[in-house]
A and B are shown apart, each in its own frame.
Chain A
Amino acid sequence: MTDSTSAASQTQAEKVFVEALRKGDEAAYERLVRTYVGPLQSVARRYLRNEEDARDVVQDAFASVVRSIDRFEGESKLSTWLHRIVVNAALMKLRTQRRKPEESIDDLLPGFLEDGHQREPASEWAQSASRALERKEIRERVRDSIGQLPEGYRMVLMLRDMDGYDTDQTAELLGIQRGAVKTRLHRARQALRGLLDPHMRDEVA
Chain B
Amino acid sequence: MVDLTCRELIEFLGEYFEGGLPSENRAVFEAHIGICPPCKAYLENYRDTVDLVSGACEDLEASVPEEVPEALVQAILKARKAASRP
| A20–B4 alpha-carbon span in the complex (Å) | 60
Partner of A63 from the list B37, B54, B63, B83 (CB cut-off 8 Å) is B83
Chain B count of residues within 8 A CB distance of the other chain = 47
Q: In chain B between 26 and 62, which residues have their CB closer than 8 angstroms to a CB of chain A?
A: 37-39, 41-42, 44-57, 59-62
**1/0 per residue B53-86: CB within 8 Å of A?**
1111101111111011100110111011001100
Q: Is the CB of A46 within 8 A of B72?
A: no
| A58–B75 alpha-carbon span in the complex (Å) | 11
Partner of A122 from the list B38, B67, B84 (CB cut-off 8 Å) is B38
Q: How far is the CB of A153 from chain B (nearest CB, A)?
A: 12
Partner of B68 from the list A38, A125, A143, A157 (CB cut-off 8 Å) is A38
A182-B14 CB under 8 A given contacts A66-B80, A122-B38, A161-B50: yes
A59-B77 CB under 8 A given contacts A41-B69, A200-B45: no
B57 surroundings in chain A (CB, below 8 A) = 42, 46, 139, 143, 162
Check: A107 CB closer than 8 A to any chain B CB. no
Q: Is the CB of A41 within 8 A of B72?
A: yes
B44 surroundings in chain A (CB, below 8 A) = 124-125
A130 surroundings in chain B (CB, below 8 A) = 51, 55
A142-B56 CB under 8 A given contacts A112-B7, A193-B49: yes
**1/0 per residue A153-179: CB within 8 Å of B?**
000011001100000000000000000
Select the stretch in A2-10, A28-36, A97-105 that faces chain B: A28-36
Sample 27 A-B pairs with CB under 8 A, ordered by A number: A33-B73, A33-B77, A39-B62, A41-B69, A42-B57, A42-B61, A46-B57, A58-B72, A62-B80, A112-B6, A116-B5, A117-B5, A117-B6, A118-B39, A129-B48, A129-B52, A130-B51, A139-B55, A143-B56, A161-B53, A162-B54, A162-B56, A182-B14, A189-B49, A190-B10, A190-B13, A190-B46
